[in-house]
Chain A
Amino acid sequence: MQYSQVDAEAKAVARKFDLVVIMSTFLALIAGFHVHQMLVAGDWSFWVDWKDRNWWPIVAPIMEITFPAAVQAVLWTRFRMPIGATFCCLGLLFGEWMNRYINFNGWTHYPLNFVFPETFIPAAVVLDIVLMLTGNWIVTALVGGELWGWLFYPTNWVMIAPYHLPVEYQGSLMSVADVINYMYVRTSTPEYLRIVETGTMRSFAGGVTGVAAFFSAFVSVCMYVPWWLMGAHFFGSTKFFKTYESASTEVKHA
């Protein structure tokens, strides 16, 4: 047998294992990240009238820096691959679009411009670049975490700007998104205006978004650290528990 043929066979087998690892990891991350995202920040993601200037820029980034930090911890420390955050957020976006298109739009017939998801891809690319350039997870938490919070609203602005235009509807001033909310009845969904437009949040009007992003960036830094540690030391752990024999022996000796 030619050495080159043996070598080719070995490489072919190794490549197949690589593909299985990549595909299964991608699917698992979609499953975990999407169920996390939809149940801690999902309402803001489902509806355009929830994509407001007060709470959405706070809730979404701080809840979604979690999986990117954990995956970065493994892909960077073990493989020097600065793609963990982007890999996660691409999976999340895939999972969200599959359901928005097939179910929100295809089954319950809401228009796509009412139910399109937010994107974290630009912020994730920046988070990965910060890690790649600094090679230091603490600096990535401090700088990348801040940028993660700050960049979320601007990088989604192109998509949501048309829906924040003011309109007068039945004598009241509201946004295009609010009017869409009234046009499409969602029997069980709370009216977001009732929750968000209260007290000082309304009084400070235009100044709210910057403060929200500032706050979001601060909490994103704080969230990054424990999730990096969990990724590195728990989810990326290679620990085996003691074998049954050694555990039994220890018990007997005790």
Chain B
Amino acid sequence: MAQTQTTATAVARPPLTAFSWKSAGIAIGALIVFDVLINVYERLYAFSKGLDYTSADYESYWMGMLFAELVLEAVTAGALWGWLWMTRDRALDRLSPAEELKRYWALGLFVLTYTYAAYAGASYFTEQDGTWHQTVIRDTDFTPSHVIEFYQSYPIYIIFGVGSLVYAMTRLPQFAKAFSLPYVVLVGSPAMIFPNVGLNEFGHTRWFMEELFVAPLHWGFVTFGWGALAILGTWLQICPRVLALVNHVYYGKPIQSPAEVMKDPQSSVNPAACAACAM
């Protein structure tokens, strides 16, 4: 999205401080610290307190954690999504270009945070679950690794993913009136990994099997994981509009109004229109 032309501009420009990394730094930094602490907890209490589901220690160290995190996640999801909805912009058709550009930056940081959380859940903690299962015999669906992977890391990325989608739908004209196919896939498909845990756990309970990680029982996770590829289409939708806004705000080039974008969002992702703006 580099710009090469310089022309006069009469449009209000946002200050550069509006494009700060601070909020994503805080969010991702907090998630990293949290993930490290969770790993420490697991190292301290998985083997020492988490091998016998019927023990009192298991109840307090692992089932207690499970119930606490489920409650916290439900409250956080409700609060974040609810707040985003209740504070939605009801006059999006009159959104100024500078404000729209700032909101795209906020959306970018939201998506970045979501992808970190998705990496932690789908990559790091999921293979960590392989480490655990191939080392010890399972005696419960709520084994220590699952308490962290399934019921903690997955809901966390779902909270951020859905949150980013709600942000886009409530604050950006492009996403206000019509669902974006790639964005819905990017958020919805990995989110379905969490319900798929039901299939997985039923299967492992019904057929007490060796832990073959490539077992067909696990392929639901695989299929839903493919949805991460839709980040490509999502950025392909967003980038032309951001480029048009940069061209408009800094170089005074013509741009579609928010009302036009809301009416026909498909027109805002036409790379040809975008290139015409840059000419």
Residues of A within 8 A of B (CB): 3-4, 6-7, 9-18, 20-21, 23-25, 27-36, 38-43, 46, 59, 67, 70-71, 74, 78, 95-96, 98-99, 102-104, 107-108, 186-190, 230-231, 234-245
Q: Is residue B188 within 8 Å, beta carbon to beta carbon, of the partner chain?
A: no
Chain B residues within 8 Å of chain A by Cβ, number: 87
A40-B124 in contact (CB<8A): no
B116-A27 in contact (CB<8A): yes
Instruction: Check A238/B269 contact, CB under 8 A, given A29-B229, A39-B222, A98-B123.
Output: yes
Q: Which of B1, B119, B227 has the most CB atoms of chain A within a 10 A radius of its CB?
A: B119
The 8 closest A-B pairs by CB, nearest first: A32-B228, A10-B250, A27-B115, A235-B229, A20-B108, A188-B211, A35-B225, A31-B122
Q: Is residue B78 within 8 Å, beta carbon to beta carbon, of the partner chain?
A: no
Q: Give the complex CA separation of A174 and B9 in angstroms.
A: 75
B214-A39 in contact (CB<8A): yes
B116 to chain A, nearest CB (A): 6
A75: nearest chain-B partner, CB-CB: B232
B180: nearest chain-A partner, CB-CB: A240
B138-A11 in contact (CB<8A): no
A182 to chain B, nearest CB (A): 15
Instruction: Check A240/B137 contact, CB under 8 A, given A6-B6, A9-B13, A30-B123.
Output: no
A35-B235 in contact (CB<8A): no
A32-B229 in contact (CB<8A): yes
Among listed B54-62, B66-74, B82-90, B128-136, interface-contacting one: B128-136
Q: Is residue B258 within 8 Å, beta carbon to beta carbon, of the partner chain?
A: no
Instruction: Check A40/B219 contact, CB under 8 A, given A187-B136, A188-B138.
Output: yes
B236-A236 in contact (CB<8A): yes
Residue in contact with A74 in the complex, picked from B112, B130, B236, B262, CB distance below 8 Å: B236
B229-A13 in contact (CB<8A): no
Q: Give the complex CA separation of A70 and B185 in angstroms.
A: 15
A188-B105 in contact (CB<8A): no
Q: Which residues in chain B, 131-160, are within 8 Å of chain A measured between CB atoms? A: 131-138
Residues of B within 8 A of A21 (CB): 108, 235, 239
Residues of A within 8 A of B228 (CB): 28-29, 31-33
Q: Give the complex CA separation of A43 and B214 in angstroms.
A: 7
B230: nearest chain-A partner, CB-CB: A235
25 chain-A/chain-B pairs, Cβ below 8 angstroms: A3-B8, A6-B250, A7-B250, A10-B250, A14-B1, A14-B243, A20-B112, A30-B119, A35-B221, A38-B126, A38-B130, A39-B219, A41-B214, A74-B232, A74-B233, A98-B123, A107-B128, A187-B136, A188-B133, A231-B229, A234-B230, A240-B181, A240-B237, A241-B178, A243-B263
